[in-house]
Every structure is written in structure tokens, then in C-alpha cells.
């Protein structure tokens, strides 16, 4: 994993990025910077374009407009496999385990094909290390399909970590977890940051996100409507208004309640 | 020039029948996302059906009457195939249904070869011909084209004006929603499959009125149906008809310029190219 | 390669060696002919497995490589007086090149579209060769029996070609394991399980798939040359028979895709069954129908194949039955 870097260094620059699907505008002229070592939270009502933004950043979709600069390299429109080779990994909102392979093989795949392109033997070592880190190592020989949701989420994270990224995109890693599992996962996220990995995280579990993020940006209808510390965002009237369209979330934001 | 027009006319007439056949294939795909690889052998069964019901045996029915029976048998056969091979693999990955329907293909050809051998049969049927200026149009082909058009119209009336037809369109649009509205999806799917095979059998019967055939002939028309379906758009019945006409025209025109044995090569290369460029077909999918 | 660490590897290699050695031991021509067909089936199915079982791409028209390679090699032997082994290699290379060119184009398609495209390709090649005078058009090519004299006469030639197929089968099995336990194989299996996730993980999917396609085509190309050389003739209908392609899929699925033992078991069983049926007067014509029935039963009830089912049921056999 990368060592400590100067906190002022910008690892990801999103410049005026838009994504249109035919007539539908999913992401509209979003611009922000992500400094190295930070944990940046991304929130917004359902359908705001958060996952689409992730998809554009890591190459699943090319941007309709704008540029994505990762570690001083323009990665706009590159293929996902090229992006991860540069050190940018992600997890998916709906987990995608390699079902017929074992947990170990899943993570080895991440190590083999990630940023550092390891051969099989080293990949195995790294995979075991990472599985230990996320707390899945006893299940190394089980089939990915037989894990429960929380374990699959950890597997997804382990696989992304095995790619030894500089930047990790986490898409709703806490969805579907009970409070204990959430707390455990948040610990893991903090440990990852301690290792020097920058984290960009989408979450709906408000209190967890607000707790763990250094900074938060808010998307609504594809537009960036607010940016700031968690406290600033919680008080921001535009944000509250955006969520009033989603009353449950608005309430949670206002009261800082648990799910 | 005359030869070209004559060839073209012939090809277009054939094209209607091709289109009818492809419609069966595309309907099934449009409704349940299944590519019926037993399409060809069912066409061949239609050919044998009309042969036995009208020509060979004690029935001695007029071929066009026998055609009705062939259509009905095709419908019933479709139900059987649906429940035996297709129903269980509907929601499995596409390839399961491909292999399942191909297995039916193999079974029909296997049994058919054993029963009928591969020697060609001929219905020995003629309806005279008409002269249009310098072009001679064979009666059988003309009638076949007319029947194809009538059946297509009938199909549209069925799909848009009758309850079962509307049910089929609902299910093809969104199966879950249709079920919520109380439409019995299994029966509807079985019916769709049956209609698809019925069209295949019918087109086989029609082809038998002017070409000789064997149990293996169906494969040739099945491959043509594939080409037509990708031309016209998967799941698009109108596209199938238009695609059929295009293919028929192609088959009519091309042999005037190059040896006819090259036509299949062109058809298959076209098939692969269209799959590559626009897998939903040139005219878009459902 | 680290295949030697796996018990399954040794089990399979021993099985192939023992089975393949039987004709030499008995000296019987019948045994040789039967084993020839069985080994041929095993080699074809195992090659297909590299694409189908490992990468998850179902090629319905895989026989095109057998046919094209066969034609190229046969042409070189019959018309250009090449010797058998260079011609065999040439057939493999021709098949590999076709796979490379095709792969770049049609591997972009997924699932059913890819399967259909492979059918289209097979038919396009078949109908093309039907028109190709250099390869004899619809009549095909024939070999003058005197050519066999260069190999010690027809009888010895049969043994020589048998040995070649034996060696090729062993090669395919060893390579299959090599791939399965390699980084490349892991990438392929990731593609099979979830191609989009594999891309996000960093697998260069277009290249990996094309590589798998090429590897799965070479040996069938070589086998084609040997088969038709033995046959002393080749013609389009026989060389590009689509049903033979599907039978390859049946073999892989009968045993279970993704393992090496699976296609081996499936091919051996299927071919043995086929041989039996062809000699029995009752079932002779029904061989294709029974193959279809078998395929349907597998799809409906045992989609992971016999070996796959065994592995699922008896976890302890996991490492042995790979």
C-alpha cells in the first residue's frame, strides 16, 4: 500500500463532467477535487446520479463532457481495466462476487489484475493478507456464492483492496447491513485510510457517512449542489430541500438518527 | 433486364413466405427472449405434414386444405415443445434455452431421418401460371405469397384485437406486470411459442407446394430465418416480413450476376456482419 | 506451471496414458479405431472447454476450426506434396489465425449473440469452401492412396496417426491444466463469472478472450488434418457439420464445464455410447435423436454435468476431480 503522502496533493480532479444517456441527463457539469488521503463522502437522493458518476470515473461509461484526471493522468473514457491499472479501484452497489470461485480466488483475481499485476503466488499471499484485514480469512476456501450479504460486501472490498489502489471508490458498502455490521465496516474503512488509501464513498446510511467522511459533496438530479464538511452539509438548506423529496432521509439528516 | 425483373418477382414472392417463417422465430424471441433453434426441423415437419396429409395417403386432401391441418398440428407441437423443453429454462441464461431448443432440433432430425430417410420428396403439385407481360409467375408461388400475406394480417388482427393476442403483447412487454394484472403467463407463453411454431410449420407446408424437400431442408430455411430476423430486428414481426422481402429480392437479383451457389455465402456473411454492427437488427428490436 | 501439485492433474494424465496405451498393448485394430475416436472426441471437447468452460463463451460453430484446419492441411498434403506433420501444424496455424481474426470481431458479442455468430461463421466458411475451386468445391479433395506408402503403407499409417492423436490429446490435457491453474486461467474464469466485474478488476477482457479462442482452435485444426488424412478425402458437408459442433458442447456439458476431467469424461462416455449405437441396427439412425435427448436432460436436470455434480455433492473430492 502507498505510504503517507502530502495531504495537499490532489489525487482526483473531476472537471465539468457530464453524462447523458440519450435525452436523460444523469450527471451534469460536476466539478470538484479530491485531495490525497481524504475520505470524501457522496450523498444525494435516489437517482441523483451518484453511481453513474462512479461509473464515469472508473471507465464503465465514457463521459459525455468533461475530464477526469487521476494522479495527473487524464483517464476520461479509458477502459475500466486501464483505470484500475493506474491505481483506482471500486466496489459495486450490488455486489458482484465471482460465484463459482472461492473467496481466496476472488481476491487473488483482484491482486493479479490490479495495479501491481502480481503473478499467482504473490497474489495468493496478498489475498490472504487482505482477507485477514477485512476479517474474512477463515472463509478463504468457501465458494463466494455461499457467503451472506455482509460477507459478500467484505469480499467485494477485499477484492478491490487487493488491487492495491491509491484511490478506492466505495459504492454503498453499508447497504443491507445491521448496526453491528455497519460499525465493523466503518472500522475497516478507517483502517484502509490509515494505510494511505484515499477513499471516495457513496452512502445512504447517513450517520455512518457523516461520521467517517472528512468532506461531503451532494448530488441532486445530476448536479453538484453542495460541498463542505459534514456539519456544514447537514445544515445546508439546499441539501435539506433536496431530501425533502425523500422525507425519510430528510428526517434522518435533521435528527442524525440511526437507520 | 427481363431476366432480372422476372428473378426479382420470383424472389419477392418467395420473400413473403420467408418472412412468414421468420415471423415465427421473431415472435417467440420477442415474447420470451428465446431463440428457437428447433425452428428449422419444424419447417421440415410442416413440409412432411402437407406431403402426407394431402399427397401420399388415404386422406387425399387438397394441399391448401391440408395446410390448415398442418398449421394446427404446428400449434399443438409448439405447446408440447414449450412444456417439455422451454418452460423450465425460461429464466435461465440464454444459452440454456438455446441448447434446449437445439436438443429438440436434434431429436426431430434424428427421428425424422430414421423414419423418412434423407431422400428428397416432392409434392408434385401445380397451380398453373400467370403471364404478366413477359414474366411468368408460377401459380403456386403466387398463392403461397397471398396466403403468407393473409396469415400475417390475421396475426396482426389476433395480436391487436383479441384478448389472447393482447395478453401476448402484454407478457412480451413486461411479464411480471402482466402477471400482476391477472394474465396467466404460462398459458400465454405456451400460446406464443405455439403460434411461432405454427408459422414455421405453415411456411414449410407452403414451401413444399413448389420445392422438393427432405428432413434436412428445414435447416436451410432456418438459417435464412436467422438472417431475416437480424435484418428485420429481433422481436419485430413487421421487420421480419420486410426482411423476408429483402432476402427474397437478394436471392432473386444476385444469381443473375454471379453463380447462385455464392448466395448462401453472402447471406451468412451478411448475417454475421449485422450481428456485429447492430445485434438488434437493422430496424431495431421490439 | 504448478499443475503437478494437484492430484487431479496426475489422475487425468494417468487415465489418458493408460487408456491411450491399450491399443498398443492389445495390438488390436478395433481397439485402435475405437480409441482413436474417443481420444479425438476428448481432445476436441477439451479444446472447446478452454473457451466454453473457462471463459464461458459458448461456441456453437467450433467445428469450423476442425474443418478449416483439416482442409488446409489436407490440401497441402494432397496437392502440394507436403508431409503429414508440417501439414498438421499448418492446419493448426490456419485455425489459430482464423480464431484470431474472428475473435477480434465476434468476441465483442455476448451470450446468445456470440453463439449465433459462430453458427453464421461456420456456415459462411462452409458455403465459401463449397465454391472454392482450389479446395475442390462441393466435391472436395481426395488423396491418392499411394501417398500412404510414404508412411509405411496404410496399416502403419493408421498406427502413426493414432499415436499423433494420442500425443495431441495428452498435450491438450496438460495445457488445459496449465491454463486452469495459471493467472491467465483465473482471468478467464473471472470473465466467465462476471465479465463486467472482471473488467473493473483489471482483466484485459478482449485480449484474454481472444487468446482463449485461439488456444481452443489450434488443436482442433490439427486434429482435422489427421482425421481427413486418414479418411483419404475431405468435403464441405463432412468438414463443417454443425451437429458435430453441438455434440462437442454435449460432451463438455455431460461431464461438466470448467474442469479438465469433465470434458474428458463426457467425451469418452459420449463417444463410447455413440460407437455402440452406430453398430446396433436398432439405434443406428437414432444416434442424433438420442444425443439430443441427452442434451435436453442435461440442461434440464444436471446443468453442471456429471463431474460438476459429483464435486458439488462430495466436497472432499473437490481437489481430485478438477
The reply to whether residue B89 touches residue C116, judged by beta carbons under 8 angstroms, is no
- Out of A96-105, A115-124, A125-134, A232-241, pick the least confident: A232-241
CA distance B91 to B34: 10
- C287: number of Cβ within 10 Å: 21
> What Cα–Cα distance (Å) separates residue B190 from each residue in B79, B195, C18, C121, C237?
6, 9, 50, 32, 35
Mean of the per-residue pLDDT values of chain C? 90
Task: Tell if the CB–CB gap between A81 and C203 is shorter than 8 Å.
Answer: yes
- Rounded Cα distance between B71 and B200, Å, is 9
Residue A5 pLDDT greater than 50, yes or no:
no
What average pLDDT does range A194-201 have in this prediction?
A: 94
| Contact (CB<8Å) C295/B88 | no
Q: What is the per-residue burial (b if ≥16 Cβ within 10 Å, else e) of A31-41?
A: eeebbbbbbbb
Task: Report residue A114 as a C-alpha cell.
Answer: 490490479
Residues of C with CB under 8 A from a CB of A: 2, 181-183, 186-187, 189-190, 192-194, 196-205, 258
Q: Which pLDDT belongs to residue A6?
A: 46
Considering only the beta carbons, identify the residue of A79, A100, A159 that sits closest to C201: A159
Confidence of residue B261 (pLDDT cuts 50, 70, 90): confident
DSSP state letter for A101: S
Neighbours of C281 (CB within 10 A): 7
Beta strand A198-202 with A167-171: parallel, antiparallel or unpaired? parallel
Angle between helices C84-106 and C63-80 (to 10 degrees): 140
Q: State chain B's maximal CA–CA distance in angstroms.
A: 59
Question: Who contacts C224 (Cβ-Cβ below 8 Å, separation ≥6)?
Answer: C65, C66, C67, C68, C69, C70, C71, C73, C91, C95, C239
Q: Taking Cα atoms as reference points, which of A217, A223, A170 lies closest to residue A193? A: A170
> Is C258 or B28 the better-scoring residue by pLDDT?
B28
* pTM to 2 decimal places: 0.89
- Give the angle B166-B171-B174 at the CA atoms, nearest 5°: 125
Q: Is residue A182 part of a domain?
A: no
Interior/surface letters B205-233, b for 16+ CB within 10 angstroms, e for the rest: bbbbbbbebbbebbbbbbbbbbbbbbbbb
C256 Cα to chain A: minimum distance (Å): 13
Pairing of strands C233-234, C141-142: antiparallel
Closest CB to A120: pick one of C183, C194, C196. Answer: C183
Query: Looking at residue A17, what is its pLDDT?
Result: 95
Tens-place pLDDT, residues C74-86: 999 998 989 999 9
Contacts of B107 in chain C (CB under 8 A): 288-289, 292-293, 296
Is A112 within 8 Å of C196 when comparing Cβ atoms?
Answer: no
- Whose cell is 429483402? That residue is B246
Domain membership flag for residue A247: yes
User: How far is residue A56's CA from residue A64's CA, in Å, rounded to a whole number?
Assistant: 9
* pLDDT higher than threshold 70 for residue A1: no
Say how many Å lie between the first and final Cα of chain B, rounded: 38
Give the pLDDT confidence score for residue B55 in this predicted structure: 65
C3-317: CATH topology is: ABC transporter involved in vitamin B12 uptake, BtuC (1.10.3470)
Q: For residue C278, what pLDDT is reported?
A: 77
DSSP state of B58: T
Confidence of residue C65 (pLDDT cuts 50, 70, 90): very high
- Residue at A219 is within a domain: yes
Contact (CB<8Å) C201/A163? yes
How many whole angstroms separate alpha carbon A61 and alpha carbon A18?
11
- pLDDT score of A244 more than 80: no
What is the overall mean pLDDT for chain A? 89
- The C-alpha cell that represents A176 in the structure block: 443491507
B174 vs B21 pLDDT, higher one: B21
State the total domains in chain A.
Answer: 1
pLDDT band at A2 (very low <50, low <70, confident <90, very high): very low
Cα–Cα distance between B182 and B184 in angstroms, integer?
Answer: 6
**B36 to chain C: which residues are within 8 Å by CB?**
none
User: Alpha carbon of A116 to those of A39, A82, A166: distances in Å?
Assistant: 23, 12, 11
Q: Is the residue at A52 inside a domain?
A: yes
What CATH number is attached to the domain comprising A42? 3.40.50.300
| pLDDT of B283 above 60 | no
pLDDT score of B259: 87
From residue C8, alpha-carbon distances to A3, A99, C181 in Å are 42, 22, 11
Of the candidates C259, C197, C315, C193, the one whose C-alpha atom is nearest the C-alpha of residue A99 is C193
Q: What is the structure's pLDDT at C314?
A: 81
Lowest mean pLDDT segment, chosen from A44-58, A162-176, B272-286, C76-90: B272-286
Banded model confidence at residue B280, pLDDT cuts 50, 70, 90? low
Query: Please, what are the domains in chain B?
Result: 2-277 (1.10.3470)
Residues of A with CB below 8 A from C184's CB? none
A166 secondary structure, DSSP code: S
In a domain, A42, yes or no: yes
DSSP assignment, residue C52? I
Report whether pLDDT(A258) > 60: no
| Cross-strand bridge partners of residue A43 | A218
Name residues whose C-beta falls within 8 Å of residue A138's C-beta, 6 or more positions apart in sequence.
Answer: none
Q: What is the mean pLDDT of chain B?
A: 86
> What are A66's three cell numbers?
468533461
Rounded Cα distance, B253 and A49, in Å: 52
Closest-approach residue (CA) in chain C for A117: C202
Q: For residue range C248-257, list pLDDT tens digits in order.
A: 998 998 988 8
Average pLDDT over residues B229-256: 86
Supply φ then ψ for residue B122, to 5 degrees: -140, 135
Q: Is the residue at A124 inside a domain? A: no
Count the Cβ atoms, other than its own, within 10 Å of residue C222: 33
- What range does the domain containing A210 cover? 1-87+201-259
For the segment A120-146, the average pLDDT, to the nearest whole number, is: 92
Indicate the helix (H) or strand (E) that contains A225: strand A223-228
pLDDT of C320 above 90 = no
**Chain B interface, mutation test: which of C274, C297, C299, C302, most B Cβ atoms within 10 Å?**
C299
Question: Cα separations (Å) of A119 from A85, A95, A155?
Answer: 15, 25, 20
Q: Convert the pLDDT of each residue in B30-54 to its tens digit.
A: 888 888 999 999 999 999 988 888 7
Residues A7-25 as b or e (16 or more Cβ within 10 Å = b): eeeebbbbbebbbeeeeeb
Q: For residue A218, is it within any domain?
A: yes
Binary contact (C258, A100; C-beta < 8 A): yes
In angstroms, the separation between the Cα of residue B83 and the nearest Cα of chain C is 12
Say yes or no for a CB contact (<8 Å) between C203 and A113.
Answer: yes
Whether residue A174 lies inside any domain: the answer is no
Q: Which residue of C has its CA nearest to A118?
A: C183
Within chain A, residue ranges assigned H as helices are: 50-57, 80-85, 103-113, 120-134, 149-162, 179-194, 206-212, 230-235, 237-244, 247-255
In DSSP notation, C215-271 reads HHHHHHHHHHHHHHHHHTEE-HHHHT-HHHHHHHHHHHHHH-TTSSHHHHHHHHHHH
Cα C274 from Cα B9, distance rounded (Å): 47
Q: Which carries the bigger pLDDT value, residue B282 or residue C230?
A: C230
Amino acid at each position: 500500500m502507498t505510504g503517507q503522502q502530502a495531504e495537499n496533493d490532489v489525487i482526483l480532479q473531476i472537471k465539468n463532467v457530464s453524462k447523458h444517456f440519450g435525452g436523460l441527463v444523469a450527471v451534469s457539469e460536476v466539478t470538484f477535487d479530491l485531495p490525497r488521503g481524504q475520505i470524501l463522502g457522496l450523498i444525494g437522493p435516489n437517482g441523483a446520479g451518484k453511481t453513474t458518476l462512479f461509473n464515469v470515473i472508473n471507465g464503465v461509461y465514457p463521459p459525455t463532457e468533461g475530464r477526469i484526471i487521476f494522479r495527473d493522468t487524464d483517464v476520461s473514457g479509458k477502459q475500466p481495466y486501464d483505470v484500475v491499472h493506474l491505481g483506482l479501484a471500486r466496489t459495486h452497489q450490488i455486489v458482484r462476487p465471482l460465484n463459482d470461485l472461492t473467496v481466496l480466488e476472488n481476491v487473488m483475481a483482484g491482486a493479479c489484475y490490479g495495479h501491481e499485476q502480481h503473478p499467482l503466488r504473490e497474489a495468493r499471499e496478498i489475498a490472504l493478507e487482505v482477507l485477514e484485514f477485512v476479517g474474512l480469512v477463515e472463509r478463504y476456501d468457501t465458494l463466494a456464492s455461499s457467503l451472506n450479504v455482509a460477507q459478500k460486501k467484505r469480499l467485494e472490498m477485499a477484492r478491490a483492496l487487493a488491487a492495491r489502489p491509491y484511490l478506492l471508490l466505495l459504492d454503498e458498502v453499508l447497504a443491507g447491513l445491521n448496526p453491528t455490521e455497519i460499525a465493523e465496516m466503518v472500522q475497516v474503512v478507517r483502517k484502509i485510510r490509515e494505510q494511505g488509501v484515499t477513499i471516495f464513498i457513496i452512502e445512504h446510511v447517513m450517520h455512518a457517512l457523516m461520521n467517517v467522511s472528512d468532506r461531503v459533496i451532494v448530488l441532486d438530479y445530476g448536479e453538484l449542489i453542495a460541498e463542505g464538511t459534514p456539519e456544514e452539509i447537514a445544515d445546508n438548506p439546499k441539501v435539506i430541500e433536496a431530501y425533502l423529496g425523500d422525507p425519510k432521509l430528510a428526517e434522518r439528516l435533521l435528527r442524525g438518527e440511526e437507520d | 433486364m427481363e431476366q432480372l425483373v422476372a428473378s426479382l418477382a420470383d424472389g419477392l414472392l418467395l420473400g413473403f413466405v420467408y418472412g412468414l417463417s421468420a415471423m415465427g422465430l421473431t415472435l417467440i424471441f420477442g415474447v420470451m427472449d428465446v431463440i428457437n433453434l428447433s425452428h428449422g426441423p419444424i419447417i421440415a415437419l410442416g413440409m412432411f405434414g402437407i406431403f402426407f396429409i394431402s399427397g401420399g395417403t388415404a386422406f387425399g386432401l387438397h394441399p391448401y386444405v391440408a395446410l390448415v391441418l398442418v398449421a394446427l398440428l404446428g400449434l399443438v407441437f409448439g405447446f408440447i415443445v414449450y412444456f417439455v423443453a422451454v418452460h423450465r429454462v425460461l429464466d435461465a441464461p440464454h444459452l440454456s434455452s438455446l441448447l434446449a431448443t437445439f436438443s429438440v432440433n436434434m431429436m426431430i432430425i434424428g427421428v425424422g431421418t430414421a423414419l423418412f430417410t434423407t431422400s428428397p420428396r416432392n409434392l408434385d403439385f401445380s397451380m398453373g401460371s400467370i403471364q404478366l407481360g413477359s414474366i411468368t409467375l408460377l401459380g403456386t408461388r403466387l398463392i403461397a405469397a397471398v396466403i403468407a400475406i393473409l396469415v400475417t394480417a390475421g396475426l396482426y388482427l389476433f395480436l391487436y384485437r383479441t384478448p389472447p393476442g393482447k395478453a401476448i403483447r402484454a407478457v412480451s412487454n413486461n411479464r411480471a406486470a402482466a402477471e400482476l394484472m391477472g394474465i396467466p403467463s404460462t398459458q400465454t407463453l405456451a400460446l406464443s411459442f405455439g403460434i411461432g411454431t405454427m408459422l414455421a410449420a405453415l411456411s414449410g407446408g407452403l414451401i413444399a407446394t413448389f420445392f422438393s424437400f427432405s428432413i434436412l431442408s428445414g435447416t436451410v430455411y432456418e438459417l435464412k430465418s436467422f438472417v431475416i430476423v437480424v435484418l428485420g430486428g429481433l422481436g419485430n414481426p413487421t421487420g421480419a416480413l420486410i426482411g423476408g422481402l429483402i432476402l427474397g429480392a437478394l436471392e432473386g437479383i444476385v444469381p443473375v450476376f454471379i453463380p447462385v451457389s455464392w448466395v448462401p455465402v453472402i447471406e451468412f456473411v451478411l448475417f454475421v456482419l449485422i450481428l456485429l454492427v447492430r445485434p438488434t437488427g437493422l430496424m431495431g428490436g421490439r | 506451471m504448478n499443475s503437478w501439485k494437484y492430484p487431479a492433474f496426475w489422475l487425468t494424465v494417468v487415465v489418458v496414458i493408460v487408456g491411450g496405451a491399450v491399443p498398443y498393448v492389445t495390438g488390436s485394430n478395433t481397439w485402435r479405431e475405437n480409441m482413436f475416436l474417443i481420444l479425438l472426441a476428448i481432445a476436441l471437447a477439451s479444446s472447446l472447454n478452454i473457451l466454453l468452460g473457462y471463459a464461458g463463451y459458448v461456441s456453437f460453430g467450433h467445428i469450423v476450426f476442425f474443418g478449416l484446419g483439416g482442409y488446409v492441411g489436407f490440401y497441402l498434403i494432397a496437392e502440394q506434396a507436403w508431409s503429414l506433420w508440417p501439414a498438421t501444424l499448418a492446419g493448426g496455424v490456419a485455425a489459430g489465425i482464423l480464431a484470431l481474426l474472428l475473435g477480434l470481431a465476434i468476441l465483442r458479442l455476448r451470450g446468445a449473440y456470440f453463439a449465433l455468430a459462430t453458427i453464421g461463421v461456420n456456415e459462411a466458411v462452409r458455403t465459401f469452401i463449397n465454391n472454392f475451386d482450389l479446395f475442390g468445391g462441393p466435391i472436395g479433395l481426395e488423396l491418392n492412396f499411394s501417398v500412404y506408402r510414404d508412411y509405411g503403407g496404410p496399416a502403419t499409417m493408421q498406427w502413426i496417426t493414432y499415436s499423433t492423436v494420442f500425443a495431441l490429446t495428452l498435450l491438450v490435457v496438460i495445457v488445459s491444466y496449465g491454463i486452469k491453474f495459471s493467472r491467465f486461467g483465473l482471468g478467464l474464469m473471472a470473465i466467465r463469472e462476471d465479465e463486467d466485474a472482471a473488467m473493473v478488476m483489471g482483466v484485459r477482457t478482449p485480449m484474454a478472450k481472444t487468446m482463449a479462442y485461439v488456444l481452443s482452435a489450434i488443436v482442433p485444426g490439427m486434429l482435422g488434418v489427421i482425421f481427413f488424412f486418414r479418411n483419404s478425402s475431405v468435403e464441405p458437408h463432412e468438414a463443417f457439420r454443425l451437429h458435430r459442433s453441438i455434440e462437442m458442447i454435449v460432451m463438455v456439458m455431460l461431464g461438466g464445464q470448467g474442469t479438465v476431467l469433465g470434458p474428458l469424461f463426457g467425451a469418452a462416455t459420449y463417444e463410447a455410447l455413440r460407437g455402440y449405437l452406430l453398430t446396433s441396427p436398432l439405434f443406428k439412425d437414432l444416434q442424433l435423436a438420442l444425443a439430443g435427448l441427452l442434451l435436453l436432460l442435461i440442461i434440464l436436470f444436471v446443468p453442471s454435468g456429471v463431474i460438476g455434480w459429483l464435486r458439488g455433492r462430495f466436497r472432499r473430492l473437490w481437489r481430485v476431480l478438477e
